[in-house]
Amino acid sequence: MQIAQYLNQEMKSITIREGANQVKLNIIVPVSPQEPLSVIERSVESLSRLEHGDIAKVHTTYVIDVHRPDDPRVAYLQSKSHLCTIVRTHGRGRRAGAINDALDKIGKTDYLAFFDVDSRPDSNFLVECVRKLEENGAVIASAPRYITNPDASLTARIVATEYAILTDIYQLLERYDGFKQFNGLVGVLDAQVFDNRGLDESTACEDVDITQQVYLGGGIAVLAERTCVGEQAPGTLKDYYNQRTRWINGAYEGLNRYLSAFVRAKIPMSRKITWLSATALPFVIFLFSPLTLLYGIRLWKSCNDIKDFTIRVFGLILHAWILQVCSLNVLLRRLFNMQIEWKEMGRSDI
């Protein structure tokens, strides 16, 4: 799709539905070949506790990539009569391809909810996200994130602190109508956004790509502050580095693809400025590492003791410099046309 077509998307024409009792919602959970059965079991248990409120119909589809037909994870999912299971042996497009395959089979629906196998949403997550979408005429809704495995390692502990900062940032962006990107598209979306397109399977971060398309078309993402969703942090420094390298590669792609489109787009300046800040910041983040000390006042309230406080503050400074190294890695690989590979992350058994 050309840039001009993004600007012509009629996102503002998405219908605001009156009366949630007619709403249909489909949940999609992509599962990579490396995901352990125990984490999938926790995922099924977690999603089964979601409240539906006045949503008339909720269907859940797991899309699982396998290397062999007798994968025990497939047998487990197929044993759950309330679930729809799509088994893929080709792995085309990874996560984006899995979601696209599910979209092809689901057919007509009102809302789509995306989760990862490590997503642990509050029970009111669907209800609150649908409420925010309908109240604001929005396209994407999600909630503040928290880390479910903060005690797994020092790396996970630092990421948990980072997520606390991100929650404050999301709340500011919500207040001042800024650009909001929810990792993995974990949240609820108006299904009409996929009427004429799927996720781009060639991008580094399909979630970033589709969110940018939504904003360029005049749509918005909103924060449901009455609920939250947990997810796992990388347990090792290597996993963390690989994950952030891929994310920053997605930011690079966004700048490369959409900079001129955002400049010309007829959307509020607040969204343009915050989009540019979000995509460009990782490449100069070392300049802002001293600000971590100022944020220490906010962190102190949630710390157990001085040792915990010290670890968090200096961990965040280290975090900023690691992101800078990731950014340099992305720039060098782009300069020399080197591939940035998708690498699977280890999971905690929660």
DSSP assignment of 197-244, as one string?
A: ----TTSS-HHHHHHHHHHHTT--EEE-TT--EEEPPPSSHHHHHHHH
Predicted local confidence at residue 316, as pLDDT: 87
Distance CA 135, CA 160 (A): 30
Predicted local confidence at residue 2, as pLDDT: 44
Distance CA 163, CA 160 (A): 5
Predicted local confidence at residue 94, as pLDDT: 93
Bridge partner residues of 190 (DSSP): 111
Predicted local confidence at residue 311, as pLDDT: 86
Cα Dmax for the chain: 54
Predicted local confidence at residue 21, as pLDDT: 56
Predicted local confidence at residue 138, as pLDDT: 97
* Cα 160 to chain centroid, rounded: 16
Say if CB 200 and CB 89 are below 8 A apart. no
Lookup: tokens for 89: 């042996």
Coil, strand or helix at 195: coil
Predicted local confidence at residue 18, as pLDDT: 52
190 sits in which H/E element? strand 187-190
**Terminal CA-CA length for the chain:** 40
Predicted local confidence at residue 13, as pLDDT: 42
The CATH T-level fold of domain 3-335 is: Spore Coat Polysaccharide Biosynthesis Protein SpsA; Chain A (3.90.550)
E strand residue ranges, 214-296:
221-223, 229-231
Q: What is this structure's pTM?
A: 0.91
Number of residues that this document lists for the chain: 350
Q: Where are the domains of the chain?
A: 3-335
User: Which segments in the chain show pLDDT lower than 70?
Assistant: 1-21
Predicted local confidence at residue 295, as pLDDT: 78
Predicted local confidence at residue 287, as pLDDT: 85
Predicted local confidence at residue 15, as pLDDT: 47
The residues, any chain, with a CB within 8 Å of residue 23's CB and separated by 6 or more, are 17, 54, 55, 56, 57, 110, 111, 130
